[in-house]
Structure 1
Amino acid sequence: MRNAKRTALTTAVAAALALTSSCSALGGDKPTAVAGSQLETSGLTVSIISTVDLAPLWAAQDAGYFAAEGLNVKIDIADSGAKTMTKVIAGDANIALTTWTLLFVAQSEGGADFRLVADATTATPKSNKIVTVPTSPVKHVEDLPGKRIAYTSKNAASDVLTQSVMRDRGLDRSTVTWVPVPLPNMAAALQQGKVDAAYMPEPFVTDAANTVGAIPIVDIGSGSTLDFPLTGYATTATWAQANPKTIAAFQRALIRGTAAVRDDRGLLERLIVKYAKVSETTAKLMELPGYGAQLDARRLQRVPDTLHDLGIIPSTVDASRMIVHQPTS
């Protein structure tokens, strides 16, 4: 079912997320910037999908960590991980936040030659779930075959991890009707009976529970998909080769931002309320994804290996070849 040849990046990696937000210039005290002449370029455009995955980047921008590295970071908001990658390929952005599954599919198909810059999030317990509602015919995960499942897009994490969970349980994936639904619309689609179940990350799990009484039937952040790599930052091989010092500066600032949100739940909540437009109540109640900045080749290899095992790509991709130099601290 998943072996059909995809011929273009935009169709292979269709919209994975559809949240919108506004990332304006940030205030606060700024550490003194290092000399920009140390970098290949001081201006850096980062294309993002505005989700809670961005908390470390917002923290780094807000606290002036990028400026301290001599970087003037411009945030460009796209409406999907596919489009952030497209912008990097076209030269409209330098670095993209994207979904790892979409990136490795594109790499496998020759859509571009990517290099992996930094990590962003992983699937921690209770942060990503397949949910249903009381009126749905789906009561347990074993009921999924033959039903309509909402996902964000083909080959996105919602697609790949739902398939992985079903495969692990010996369930027939070929009988599922996959229904692409933007994340903000999934709760309503469940309530209206347009789908029988839906894959949701936070904060949508918490919002759906509050608004339509959504009930989880399986926790994606457990079993074989525990700590599965979800999102991260990437660029093209050409840009990475030409700008190693600029990339290193971006990585160092992002590491500091990641440490900040890991150490301060209150800071993280304020950032996602401000930039991801999550309500204060949801921010306090939601389960957080795993935040990280430094890439590990063995862990990231799980993504292309899973894509290959599911028949989504014809052969696995060597993640280690794609990872740029990672800071040691």
Structure 2
Amino acid sequence: MKDILEKLFNGELLPSETTYDIMKEIGTGNLTNEELASLLTVYRMRPISSGEFAGFREALYDLSKKVNLEFENRIDIVGSGGDGKNSFNISTLSCFVVAGAGYKVSKHGNYAASSISGSSNLLQSLGYVFTDSEDTLNRQLDKANLCFLHAPLFHPAMKFVAPVRKAMKVKTFFNIIGPTVNPSKPQAYLLGAYSEEVADLYSDVMGQAGYDITVVHNIDGYDEISLTDRFIRITNSSKDIFSPEEIGFDLLKQEELYCGDSVDDAKQIFLNVLDRSSTKAQRDVVIVNSAFAIQTLNPEKSLDECRLEAEESIDRGNARSILKNLLNNQ
């Protein structure tokens, strides 16, 4: 590790094989806290390369507890976090809308790191019980088109990292790796990134790993399509910039997406969207992210077609039924 740190301090990039081995050492508790802190500090001071990221990601996935799900053509909708916007649970709501449109969603998530309510906080408040049981998760996918994988149950290697991350109190590359290591290995991802740099990193690494991807980054810093400014969309084959207006949506104000001050506030917004009693802004931002997720699974469909499917999922009560079916199959 001393030689590796010397190379990093000298500005060298590491090959993916080396970062794979480093992550394996981290995940088995073979690095000291001081060595790990030094490593994380390097990647706070310079961007991580796609090769380095790929090695870390692959090893963390290999260290995870795998779950074999019976249904193919699944998607995960997840953001990098770390945007500091404290918006409501747009990605999680989009998962329910996409499931209500008839698609299989295996959602990977965790408690909030920098916002009021992460996906785990929200689902727990709704009465969902976290599980790593394959039978239960497959039953939920069958009956509700949706299951949820609470990250701490599937990533035991992270226990060696937690004390150092807690002591450092800053973002590390583990924050951006987490969304890419869904242990159920869905075919498709709608990935949100808090910066264009992270968006490019996601598209490089996840595209080369063989996933069907759409990566989005809002120009004003959201790790999702917020409709508050123009946004970048990267797919396996293209990179584009859109404004809300040119895809048929109104421009929103940031305060219209605010989560509130508690998990209970986030929970109420979640239920309001599903019950068709939310604000138009709250509904629209869920619809647009859901539409792009559906298009990730169906690239031959137009965005308008995918938008209609998302709207019908809410308006016909299908997305609301997903929550009921999910809770009834625990």
Shorter-chain TM-score bucket reads under 0.3
Structure with greater strand share of residues: 1
TM-score by length of 1: 0.25
Higher relative contact order (CA 8 A, sep 6+): 1
Structure with greater helix share of residues: 2
TM-score by length of 2: 0.25
